[in-house]
Copies of this chain bind each other. A is one copy, B any other.
């Protein structure tokens, strides 16, 4: 019986999400290198092995070590290499095929001097997101970095990698497709410039919205989506998934009811959900979407019922009149998270709808 805030996982939905993305990769003849930053669980990692996955992506060396311990042998750390962690890099690169991201001469020079094992290098390209990476037009910097890699005994250039995180601002398939085309065309500009000297270079793309919704991947070689393993309410608002595909939900105890202002107070705050927020289809900023309860699992979203405010341990659910009457102190209310990556990072474990606990890093 659930007594405190608990993160529920629907194993069937999750496995269906994994299977669908693996099939999409196979149909498009892509290397499927899923990002494990969302679930960060060795056990859920095994569900990817069941569909043939052998190469994975993570976002920190800590995660790389965690999955290497579980036998993963080919790991890309999709984060600009932190040169201060050179000892961890060398320790890992001795045991597995470690793939690092480089986007500056400083980092390439440092790695050349300090690597003691071989690593593959992706150069991170900025194709429009403007978070990080080498601007796709900056061929001079790319040439300088490639020179450093080529002259190094330890680094092998693998290809160019983008993360089109600005796809999170898209709403609907059409906008996602449009952004995908733009990103790919920019990435191709880079490839066309360098491919004669590096005929084996690969192109790697990654965000969940484009990997879920875009259709043409004929120009790229690898895709690394991660969030799709669970999806979340943000992905639903973007248009990456139906609300049915969301594989995680929070179960939170009702501790007080304030009917006069249509509010249900739950145990479930920012230390459980994270402060991630999204504007829903009604233009309201929410921190979670209430769903129907359905045995140990959950059903459809309840229109107009959502988390309106979070403090450290408290969550304030807004519920319309006919909904609030259905809840009393001591009930459990179920809520789709706005951002499953940060929500599961906070919760640290999953309770499957079949009653099994699954651990994570």
Contact = CB atoms under 8 A, between A and B. Distances in A.
Interface of A: 1-4, 37, 59-60, 62, 79-85, 88, 103-104, 106-107, 110, 130-132, 165, 253, 255-258, 261, 265, 267, 270-271, 274-277, 309, 311-314, 316, 328-330, 332, 341-342, 345-346
B342 A271 contact: yes
A268 to B, nearest CB: 10
Contacts of A253: 82, 84-85
Contacts of A4: 60, 62, 82, 84-85
Interface of A is mostly: mixed
A82 B131 contact: no
Contacts of A330: 83-84, 106, 110
Given A80-B265, A312-B342, 6 more contacts: A2-B84, A3-B82, A37-B312, A84-B332, A131-B311, A270-B342
Given A79-B255, A79-B267, A328 B274 contact: no
A88, A261, A330: most-surrounded residue (chain B CB, <10 A): A330
Shortest Cβ-Cβ A-B pairs, 10 listed: A275-B275, A80-B255, A3-B84, A106-B329, A80-B256, A59-B313, A83-B330, A132-B265, A82-B253, A132-B256
Contacts of A83: 329-330
B255 A82 contact: yes
A258 B309 CA distance: 35
A165 B82 contact: no
